[in-house]
């Protein structure tokens, strides 16, 4: 079998690259080893199967449960008894996942992409060895190869996977709500999963080794987020380095180091969410000619070209943030470049989101980064407490913050913590992609009442022109 383009890995980077290549007139195959219980191929990678999608399904369900138990009362809605049916909640999540993964096979069919089941190894001369589930082997030839093998959770030696010590995948499948839930790592995954189980009734303690909370976020945002999540019941302990975690089959005993010495805790379940690492197991034969860097990422240049001509790599397996949308866009760029088009990805404007409640999101530079790279900057902040729409929805926590260049007024970063923060930041990303200034957003008409108005007011506040909050004294 020979194809113009063979994509190894069917996650959001790989399947998008495959579809795009096919749309550009190439003969394309996409190799994926993941199958369901019936042996049917499951495309979608981490994102659809054990990442973005199932976690969002549970985040949404758990928030509804939480609202029913805690928040609706304030709206004058009395509910006599609220019961949790976790099996049904998980079932709904699985249905959503199945619908989306099956959808990819449908898209492949519509775009004439050949799905191939098996574990792929890239040999020399762009030859690919595919091993099926039952040991059968075949070879596929390609003019161009796109490696999109993804990533996997990092396992740490002091807390090996066991019955009650689990990674993010396991944390999406607890059969009962753990009474005491420990999370190692207060990053995006730790906060999201901690939120899910906290809302469903777990007492959650998150242990974070760093002294700084959400080090990659804007400081002002991180401070507010920390405060709010603590209020919601997440016990976030910074500067707490886990030194041992022992699972006796019933309980997990955790010992961690703080500035005040060693402390210990006992949990029913422990989630290890300290990050993810590139997954390249069996991907490359020794003579494949594709280099890995010291951290195990496939070495690529700005255009996702590896050390081997005609071999590209995209998504979590290469440098940059491990985000589905980053991988997908890389897949598009590579497909276009293979088809002889000029394409590039603007790595400066990849939005980040934490899907907690409220959401945390940002794009571009935070205040510290901007003042370091651009020198003089301006800041505009608008709190949701002053937003009419946010108040009507009982969602008045957080704020929108815009960082702009002092001289040119060009927006350098948009940060939000609050209702629909991800969607608000996305508007900022669009504006920034067009080189917008704060004044540009200020001159744009926003619907009233919407939470997006906070973006408008923050933009006005950059130049001390906000209407619904007092402006800084000049």
Partner 1 sequence: MSTEIKSPTFPESVVDGTVANWLKREGEKVKQDEVIAEIETDKVVLEVVAPFDGSISKIYKQAGETVVSAELIADFSATTDSSKAVEEKTPVESIKSRANKNKSGPAAKRILSNKEIDAEEVAATGKGGRITKADVIAHLERTESQSVTPENLLVTEQDGRHVERVPMSRLRATIAKRLLEAKQGTAMLTTFNEVDMLPIKNMRAKFGAEFELKHGVKLGFMSFFVAAAVDALRAFPSVNASLDGNDIVYHSYQDIGVAVSSERGLVVPILRNAENLDLAEIEKSIIDYSQKARDGKLEIQDMQGGTFTISNGGVFGSLLSTPILNAPQTAILGMHKIQDRAVVVNGEITIRPMMYLALSYDHRLIDGKEAVGFLVNIKEALELPERLLLGL
So which residues are the catalytic ones? 448
Best CA proximity match to 118, nearest among 175, 193, 34, 53: 34
Q: Which stretch binds partner 1 (CB under 8 A): 122-130, 271-279, 380-388, 404-412?
A: 404-412
In a 3-state reduction of DSSP, which class is residue 196? Answer: helix
Q: Roughly what angle, to the nearest 10 degrees, separates helices 86-111 and 52-66?
A: 150
Q: What would you measure as the largest C-alpha separation in the chain, in angstroms?
A: 74
Helices (H), ranges, 34-85: 45-50, 52-66
Query: Is-contact 344 333, C-beta < 8 A?
Result: yes
Smallest distance, partner 1 to C-beta of residue 439, A: 4
DSSP class of 154? P
| Rounded Cα–Cα distance for residues 429 and 93 (Å) | 30
**CB of 300 or CB of 460, closer to partner 1:** 460
Pattern 409-448, partner 1, x by CB under 8 A: xx----------------------xxxxx-xx-xxx----
**Residue-by-residue DSSP string for 223-271:** HHHHHHHHHHT-EEETT-EEEEEEE-SS-EEEEEEETTEEEEEEESEEE
Nearer to partner 1, 164 or 437 (CB): 437
Q: Please, what is the minimum distance in Å from the beta carbon of residue 445 to partner 1?
A: 10
CB under 8 A: which stretch of 198-206, 248-256, 294-302, 406-414 binds partner 1? Answer: 406-414
Nearer residue to partner 1 within complex by CB, 124 or 408: 408
Q: What DSSP state is assigned to residue 348?
A: G
- Say if residues 300 and 293 touch (Cβ distance below 8 Å): no
Q: Residue 395 or 409: which CB sits closer to partner 1?
A: 409
Q: For partner 1, what does the binding mask look like between residues 350 and 389, x meaning CB under 8 A?
A: ----------------------------------------
CB 419 within 8 A of CB 392: no
Q: Which is nearer to partner 1, 34 or 437 (CB)?
A: 437
Query: Which of 176, 244, 392, 408 is the binder for partner 1 (CB under 8 A)?
Result: 408
Residue 275, by phi and psi: left (phi above 0), alpha (psi -120 to 50) or beta? left
Shortest spacing between CB 463 and partner 1, in angstroms = 10
Q: Which is nearer to partner 1, 393 or 410 (CB)?
A: 410
Does position 119 interact with partner 1 (CB under 8 A)? The reply is: no
Least spacing, CB of residue 444 vs partner 1, in Å? 7
If you compute the radius of gyration of the chain from its CA atoms, what whole number of angstroms results? 24
Q: How many residues bind partner 1 (CB under 8 A)?
A: 15
Contacts with partner 1, residue ranges (CB under 8 A): 405, 407-410, 433-437, 439-440, 442-444
């Amino acid at each position: 079998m020979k194809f113009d383009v063979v994509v190894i890995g069917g996650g959001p980077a790989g399947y998008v690259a495959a579809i795009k290549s096919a749309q550009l007139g190439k003969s394309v195959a996409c190799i994926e080893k993941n199958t369901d219980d019936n042996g049917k191929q499951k495309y979608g990678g981490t994102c659809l199967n054990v990442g973005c999608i199932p976690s969002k399904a549970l985040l949404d369900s758990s928030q509804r449960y939480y609202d029913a138990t805690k928040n609706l009362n304030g709206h004058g809605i009395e509910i006599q008894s609220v019961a949790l049916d976790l099996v049904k909640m998980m079932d709904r999540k699985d249905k959503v996942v199945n619908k989306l993964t099956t959808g990819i096979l449908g898209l492949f069919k519509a775009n004439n992409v050949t799905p191939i089941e098996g574990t792929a190894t890239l040999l020399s001369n762009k030859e690919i060895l595919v091993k099926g589930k039952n040991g059968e082997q075949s070879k596929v030839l390609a003019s161009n190869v796109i490696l999109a093998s993804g990533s996997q959770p990092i396992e740490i030696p002091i807390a090996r996977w066991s019955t009650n010590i689990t990674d993010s995948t396991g944390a999406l499948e607890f059969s009962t709500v753990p009474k005491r839930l420990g999370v190692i790592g207060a990053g995006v995954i730790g906060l999201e999963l901690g939120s899910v189980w906290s809302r469903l009734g777990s007492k959650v303690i998150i242990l974070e080794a760093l002294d700084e909370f959400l080090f990659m976020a804007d400081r002002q945002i991180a401070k507010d987020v920390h405060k709010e999540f603590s209020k919601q019941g997440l016990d976030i302990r910074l500067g707490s380095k886990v030194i041992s975690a022992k699972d006796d089959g019933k309980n997990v005993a955790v010992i961690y180091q703080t500035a005040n010495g060693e402390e210990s805790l006992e949990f029913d379940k422990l989630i290890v969410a300290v990050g993810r690492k590139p997954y390249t197991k069996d991907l490359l034969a020794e003579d494949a000619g594709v280099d890995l860097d010291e951290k195990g990422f496939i070495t690529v240049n700005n255009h996702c070209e590896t050390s081997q001509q005609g071999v590209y790599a995209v998504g979590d397996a290469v440098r940059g943030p491990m985000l589905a949308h980053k991988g997908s866009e890389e897949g598009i760029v590579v497909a276009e470049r293979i088809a002889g088009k000029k394409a590039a990805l603007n790595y400066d404007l990849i939005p980040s989101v934490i899907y907690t409640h409220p959401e945390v999101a940002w794009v571009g530079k935070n205040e510290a980064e901007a003042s370091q790279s651009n020198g003089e900057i301006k800041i505009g902040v608008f709190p949701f407490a002053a937003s009419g729409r946010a108040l009507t929805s009982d969602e008045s926590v957080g704020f929108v913050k815009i960082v702009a260049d002092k001289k040119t007024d060009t927006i350098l970063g948009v940060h939000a913590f609050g209702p629909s923060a991800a969607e608000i930041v996305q508007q900022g990303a669009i504006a920034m992609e067009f080189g917008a200034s704060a004044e540009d957003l200020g001159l744009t008409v926003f619907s009233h009442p919407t939470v997006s108005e906070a973006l408008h007011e923050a933009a006005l506040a950059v130049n001390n022109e906000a209407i619904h909050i007092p402006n800084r004294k000049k």
